[in-house]
Copies of this chain bind each other. A is one copy, B any other.
Amino acid sequence: MKKNLLVAQSGGPTAAINATLAGVIRKAAECEQIDRVYGACYGIQGVLGENLVDLTQKVDTPEKIEILRRTPAAALGSCRFKLKDIREDDSQYQQIVDVLHKYNIGYFIYIGGNDSMDTVAKLSDYCEAHGVTDIKVIGGPKTIDNDLCGIDHCPGFGSAAKYIATVFAELEREITVYEAKNVIIVEMMGRNAGWLTAAAALAEGQNGSVPYLIYLEEAPFSMEQFVRDVKARLEENNAVLVAVSEGAHDEKGQFICEQGQGARELDVFGHNKLSGTGKVLEEVVKEQIGCKVRSIELNLLQRCASHIMSKTDIEESGKLGENAVALAVEGQSGKMSTLTRVSDTPYEIVYSGVDITEVANLEKKIPAHWINEERNGVTEEMITYLKPLVQGEISSIYEDGIPKYLLLK
């Protein structure tokens, strides 16, 4: 008997999460074991609340699939919602199983990051423990942070990395326009891992010789060294580009964005006001070096910039979605669809499934030997790792000059 498939998205938006969704829909349409594809709106909350849409009906042409895979941010909506501790109260899990049974769902694909893989782990455990053998639960990876374990690199990261490298290339043109000494500081997302910040290195040396300084949270940040680094670069160059993670912190673990905080007064509304990491560094350069300086926070732009995406990333994201469906249909459960790198040059990867316990609630940091000795840049190994991920360009589809997206909820 044919079963239906349910797919949902969770965690922070990326430019590629809908490419994975598109892959799921495309592959499901090919599988004779699958009847209809449903989407749950706003992640697992939408499953609990039976907030479902019929994707077989809503995404019924190759054109719509193509628009969907180039639409940024979770088209089904997302949530940041942790299921209750299963040892204390398993009622939510039973509720989910009941909803899946009600809609004759045999395959549930949950696309997300660390937390979402925790949901996949618990739900598949629950099914196994309670003899629910007719529901297969598979995770689809996603995060711009690139910090998932059990996978070579994360869908969405390649596009964010390409966006960041492109922005640095552009800022290098911008910073060399005037002759005066000039520092630009760019702050990237990534509270716990510096992968996005490292991506700036891809642009260095590609169009000129502006030196880059790259500070990752995997190496403790020293304000004294930062000032020394900038001064040293400015002695030989008019311009310096600085890449820093929002999560940069000193040896004691104090975030840079909290430094100087004690000396600051409350703002006009009585808030204890935090500057961003880049803003703090901008102040330090102004004060201790005194040259022209500007800080830029890439903010949300870096995770939804579907006007410049990595073709490699979008294609892989789609195939990871297809692979997730294939795993489920094969009868696997409690796995995450994954890819393994077989070779750097030529770049070659293979798709498979990884046990969800190797992924859930874990974080992948940058290896220490991929950071240079001065802790202000990356090594060649990092470039070798990153380079294949940003190959090729793809963007949203434009209509009448403005991007055209597919809306599902």
Residue A264, interface by CB 8 Å = yes
Given the known inter-chain contacts A184-B300, A283-B267, A296-B299, please indicate yes or no for A405 contacting B173, CB distance below 8 A: yes
Q: Could you tell me how many residues of chain A have their Cβ less than 8 Å away from some Cβ of chain B?
A: 71
Taking a contact as CB atoms under 8 Å apart, the answer to whether B271 and A283 are in contact is: yes
In the assembled complex, 25 residue pairs joining A and B whose CB atoms fall closer than 8 Å, in A order, are: A42-B179, A71-B173, A73-B170, A73-B173, A73-B174, A79-B178, A165-B402, A166-B402, A166-B403, A169-B405, A170-B304, A170-B307, A171-B300, A184-B300, A203-B402, A207-B407, A208-B407, A264-B267, A264-B268, A265-B265, A269-B286, A271-B286, A296-B300, A296-B301, A393-B398
Which B residues touch A75, using CB under 8 A?
173
Taking a contact as CB atoms under 8 Å apart, the answer to whether B264 and A265 are in contact is: yes
Among A190-198, A332-340, A384-392, which stretch is in contact with chain B?
A384-392
Cα A45 to Cα B393 in complex, Å, equals: 39
Which B residues touch A296, using CB under 8 A?
297, 299-301
Residue A287, interface by CB 8 Å = yes
Cα A31 to Cα B396 in complex, Å, equals: 40
Taking a contact as CB atoms under 8 Å apart, the answer to whether A310 and B207 are in contact is: no
A389 to chain B: closest CB distance in Å? 8
Cα A287 to Cα B269 in complex, Å, equals: 7
Residue A400, interface by CB 8 Å = yes
Binding site for B on A (CB under 8 A): 13, 42, 45, 71-75, 77-80, 162, 165-167, 169-171, 173-174, 176-179, 184, 202-203, 206-208, 260, 263-265, 267-269, 271, 283-284, 286-287, 294, 296-297, 299-301, 303-308, 310, 387, 390-393, 395-396, 398, 400-405, 407
Residue in B260, B307, B390 whose CB lies within 8 Å of A402 = B390
Given the known inter-chain contacts A178-B79, A286-B269, A308-B307, please indicate yes or no for A202 contacting B387, CB distance below 8 A: no
Given the known inter-chain contacts A283-B268, A308-B395, please indicate yes or no for A162 contacting B404, CB distance below 8 A: no
Which B residues touch A284, using CB under 8 A?
269
Cα A104 to Cα B400 in complex, Å, equals: 47
Residue in B169, B286, B300, B401 whose CB lies within 8 Å of A174 = B300
Which B residues touch A283, using CB under 8 A?
267-269, 271
Which B residues touch A299, using CB under 8 A?
294, 296
Given the known inter-chain contacts A72-B174, A301-B296, A307-B308, please indicate yes or no for A260 contacting B267, CB distance below 8 A: yes
Taking a contact as CB atoms under 8 Å apart, the answer to whether B393 and A77 are in contact is: no
Which B residues touch A167, using CB under 8 A?
301
A58 to chain B: closest CB distance in Å? 15
Cα A202 to Cα B287 in complex, Å, equals: 41
Known: A13-B173, A208-B407, A393-B398. 18 other contacts (CB 8 A): A45-B179, A72-B173, A77-B177, A166-B402, A169-B396, A170-B304, A170-B307, A203-B402, A207-B403, A263-B267, A269-B287, A271-B283, A294-B299, A294-B300, A296-B300, A308-B395, A391-B400, A393-B395
Taking a contact as CB atoms under 8 Å apart, the answer to whether B401 and A307 are in contact is: no
Which B residues touch A184, using CB under 8 A?
300
Taking a contact as CB atoms under 8 Å apart, the answer to whether A402 and B178 are in contact is: no
Cα A303 to Cα B171 in complex, Å, equals: 10
Which B residues touch A45, using CB under 8 A?
179
Taking a contact as CB atoms under 8 Å apart, the answer to whether B391 and A178 are in contact is: no
Cα A303 to Cα B287 in complex, Å, equals: 27
